[in-house]
């Protein structure tokens, strides 16, 4: 961490504004220092911002609702498992006392929007905010607000507040897509339609009746690109609607890291594999607040989406505990509402791009409430779809490799207990990532249209919308939604044995882990054999 040219620690919060006993630490709110951060001085205390305060559930959401096929309505979720009205009123009264404007969003998602000058917010939550500059995930640098250590909350809200998000707005996640090194020299690439053919997506289905929600944290899309792309495939342009979260918007060409490529890869893969499904693309700031607000907005939308696709993430240890708690609760809400959440497992192998020599899983793919999606190298006939070879995606340190491994933070879920997940390196860990896989190697990548140009992209970013398209088609055929679909995919799975409905990937590695028969920490249960998977789900 740098302050000018010398190591430093940002100034600690003084206690002059707080009397003893009137504030309590907010559990799990601790923020660690960022390596290489530059301190830029104090924030403008008069700057007005809006933060998200997540409140506790009035009743804990039972495992039966998350793990079973039973689905509840948004109204039922809010009435029984949302925020207690008295908690909302207490939070409003307490925080209003600091001169803050408090607006409830929705009881079901348990979020309050709290706005005011930084001086009042700093006093209400016992925090010393600084301006800082740090590396942006994926390249470049960014200026942002910054804090270290824990937050405080007024004692009247002790136990009521789960998380306070948005004070520190450091970038939280990176996009998991990769462009082919030289598209002109590409020898093997596919349209998403050809990949779906190779994976035998169920005939006679196109996702009609489903809504696919897609989360994005930068970039945008143009209707011209979509019209050009889908007409080239001989398909009608699917219904694609942009939704704003926390004042972010569909802004193609605005992100120097090339996030347009992520946005269009997601829309085009989902749209080509499930052209009958409607898409809603949620654009949010690249912060923990933006991420949690995006998934909450998507999960509680009307109509309820069949699936949410997420192609962004970061090492699970880089998230604060309060952020992961709020995220996991939002993902649990989605499961109870019948929504499946597909998440890219990362493009930097078993290290997830960290330089400490250890293995790391990407989050939220490592959440037990998300379907983690790993990557393969697929070689198949572009005419018949026959697969000639499929191995773990690993192009070396410069070309990327599928993420995957064993979580250090989440224990083995009950539905994964018999799959043969290796022992965790930490007593708190054990959840195996990914759950499923699909074509991700840029050298056998997807033909896309980005910012007026044809290109070939890969990365596990492509696998999340690929599986989202498949789930929309499976839902159309069965007339059901699947929620936490792992509870349907893992039963009967045993260590070292191929799972029904999957192409078992047994060759290759992602660094520390190697593929083998059955579930493995590179490709999970394998890539989909869609028709077989449909028959299994019907059975």
Active site residue 461: yes
**Which of 213, 465, 170, 492 is closest to 344 using CA atoms?**
465
Please pick, among 311, 332, 407, 461, the residue that the annotation labels catalytic: 461
Please pick, among 148, 262, 297, 390, the residue that the annotation labels catalytic: 262
Active site residue 366: no
Tokens representing 352? 């997830």
Handedness of CA 110, 173, 41, 356 (dihedral sign): positive
Beta bridge pairs of residue 446 = 190, 457
**CA angle, corner 307, sides to 303 and 309, nearest 5?**
120
Q: Give the Cβ contact number of residue 512 at 10 Å.
A: 15
What are the start-end ranges of the H helices in 425-524? 463-478, 486-489
Strand boundaries in 462-529, DSSP class E: 502-503, 527-528
Q: Give the Cβ contact number of residue 151 at 10 Å.
A: 25
Tokens representing 319? 């998230």
Q: What is the dihedral of CA 509, 445, 188, 385, to 10 degrees?
A: 90
Write the secondary structure of 401-446 as one string of H (helix), E (strand) and C (coil): ECCCEECCCCCCCHHHCCCCCCCCCCCCCCCEECCEEEECCHHHCE
Please pick, among 225, 246, 260, 266, the residue that the annotation labels catalytic: 266
Angstrom distance (rounded) from CA 130 to CA 467: 41
Helix (H) or strand (E) holding 144: strand 141-146
DSSP state at residue 57 = P
**Which of 258, 226, 265 is closest to 463 using CA atoms?**
265
Write the secondary structure of 111-127 as one string of H (helix), E (strand) and C (coil): EEEEEEEHHHHHHHCCC
Helices 321-336 and 74-81: angle between axes, nearest 10 degrees: 130
Q: Do the Cβ atoms of 2 and 37 come closer than 8 Å?
A: yes
Active site residue 262: yes
| Residue position matching structure tokens 């997420």 | 310
Handedness of CA 384, 388, 394, 399 (dihedral sign): negative
Helix (H, G, I), strand (E, B) or coil at 374: strand
Angstrom distance (rounded) from CA 5 to CA 171: 23
Strand boundaries in 62-172, DSSP class E: 101-106, 111-117, 130-135, 141-146, 152-154, 161-165
Tokens representing 115? 């706005």
Catalytic residues: 262, 266, 461
């Amino acid at each position: 961490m740098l302050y000018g040219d010398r190591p430093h620690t940002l100034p600690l919060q003084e206690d002059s504004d707080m009397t003893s006993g009137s504030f309590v630490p907010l559990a799990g709110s601790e923020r660690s220092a960022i390596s290489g951060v530059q301190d830029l001085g104090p924030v403008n205390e008069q700057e007005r911002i809006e933060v998200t305060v997540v409140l506790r559930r009035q009743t804990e959401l039972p495992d039966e609702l998350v793990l079973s096929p039973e689905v509840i309505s948004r109204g039922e979720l809010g009435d029984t498992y949302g925020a207690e009205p008295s908690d909302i009123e207490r939070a409003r009264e307490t925080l209003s006392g600091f001169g803050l404007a408090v607006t409830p969003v929705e009881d079901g998602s348990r979020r309050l929007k709290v706005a005011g000058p930084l001086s009042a917010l700093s006093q209400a939550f016992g925090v010393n905010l600084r301006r800082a500059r740090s590396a942006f995930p994926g390249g470049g640098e960014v200026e942002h607000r910054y804090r270290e250590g824990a937050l405080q909350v007024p004692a009247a809200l002790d136990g009521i507040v789960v998380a306070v998000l948005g004070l520190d707005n450091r970038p939280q996640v990176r996009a998991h897509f990769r462009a082919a090194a030289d598209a002109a020299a590409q020898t093997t690439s596919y349209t998403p339609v050809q990949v779906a053919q190779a994976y035998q997506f169920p005939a006679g289905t196109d996702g009609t009746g489903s809504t696919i929600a897609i989360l994005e944290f930068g970039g945008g899309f143009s209707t011209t690109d979509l019209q050009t792309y889908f007409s080239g495939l001989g398909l009608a342009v699917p219904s694609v609607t942009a939704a704003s979260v926390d004042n972010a918007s569909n802004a193609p060409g605005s992100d120097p890291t090339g996030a347009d490529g992520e946005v269009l890869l997601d829309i085009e893969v989902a749209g080509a594999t499930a052209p009958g499904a409607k898409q809603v693309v949620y654009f949010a700031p690249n912060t923990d607040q933006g991420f949690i607000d995006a998934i909450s907005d998507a999960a509680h939308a009307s109509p309820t989406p069949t699936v949410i696709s997420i192609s962004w993430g970061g090492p699970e240890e880089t998230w604060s505990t309060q952020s992961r708690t709020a995220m996991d609760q939002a993902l649990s809400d989605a499961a109870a509402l019948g929504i499946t959440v597909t998440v890219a497992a990362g493009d930097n192998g078993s290290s997830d791009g960290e330089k400490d020599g250890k293995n790391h899983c990407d989050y939220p793919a490592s959440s037990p409430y998300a379907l983690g999606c790993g990557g393969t190298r697929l070689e198949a006939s572009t005419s018949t779809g026959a697969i000639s070879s499929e191995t773990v995606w690993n192009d070396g340190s410069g070309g990327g490799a599928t993420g995957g491994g064993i979580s250090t933070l989440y224990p083995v879920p009950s539905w994964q207990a018999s799959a043969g997940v290796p022992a965790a390196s930490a007593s708190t860990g054990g959840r195996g990532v990914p759950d499923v896989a699909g074509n991700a190697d840029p050298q056998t990548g997807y033909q896309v249209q980005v910012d007026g140009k044809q290109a070939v992209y890969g990365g596990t970013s492509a696998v999340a919308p690929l599986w989202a398209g498949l789930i929309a088609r499976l839902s159309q055929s069965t007339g059901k939604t699947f929620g936490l679909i792992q509870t349907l995919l893992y039963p009967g799975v045993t260590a070292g044995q191929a799972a029904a409905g999957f192409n078992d990937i047994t060759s290759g590695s992602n660094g520390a882990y190697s593929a083998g028969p059955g579930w493995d920490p590179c490709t999970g249960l394998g890539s989909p054999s869609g028709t077989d998977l449909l028959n299994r789900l019907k059975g």
